[in-house]
């Protein structure tokens, strides 16, 4: 998923859903919401560290996911 989010292609719900689907297909999905939120936060942190500062649009899109309780709440919808 990390490599997927670091590509230069635009981020949208279809691309993000595809990345999550690949995780499920490859057996990386734990099925435990709290663990998945934690995993996603860790990936998101590493991805943000790898995105160049001048790529403002990608950084904003990635930061818009939120973290912790805010992210878990979005996942539960």
Nearest to 4 by CA among 45, 70, 16: 16
Residue pair 41/47 in contact (Cβ under 8 Å)? The answer is: no
- At 76 the pLDDT is 62
Tell me how far apart the alpha carbons of residues 43 and 34 are, in angstroms, rounded to a whole number. Answer: 14
Domain ranges in the chain are: 2-76
User: Which pTM was predicted?
Assistant: 0.60
Give 13's pLDDT tier (boundaries 50, 70, 90): low
- At 34 the pLDDT is 78
- Per-residue pLDDT reduced to its tens digit, 21-71: 777 778 777 878 778 778 878 888 888 888 889 988 888 888 887 666 676
Residue pair 5/55 in contact (Cβ under 8 Å)? The answer is: no
pLDDT at 77 over 60: no
């Amino acid at each position: 998923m990390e490599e997927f989010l670091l590509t230069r292609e635009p981020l949208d719900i279809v691309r993000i859903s595809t990345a999550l689907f690949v995780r499920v297909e490859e057996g990386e999905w734990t099925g435990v919401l709290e663990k998945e939120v934690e995993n996603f936060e860790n990936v998101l942190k590493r991805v943000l560290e790898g995105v160049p500062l001048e790529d403002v649009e990608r950084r904003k899109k990635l930061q818009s996911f939120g973290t912790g309780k805010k992210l878990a709440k979005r996942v539960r919808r």
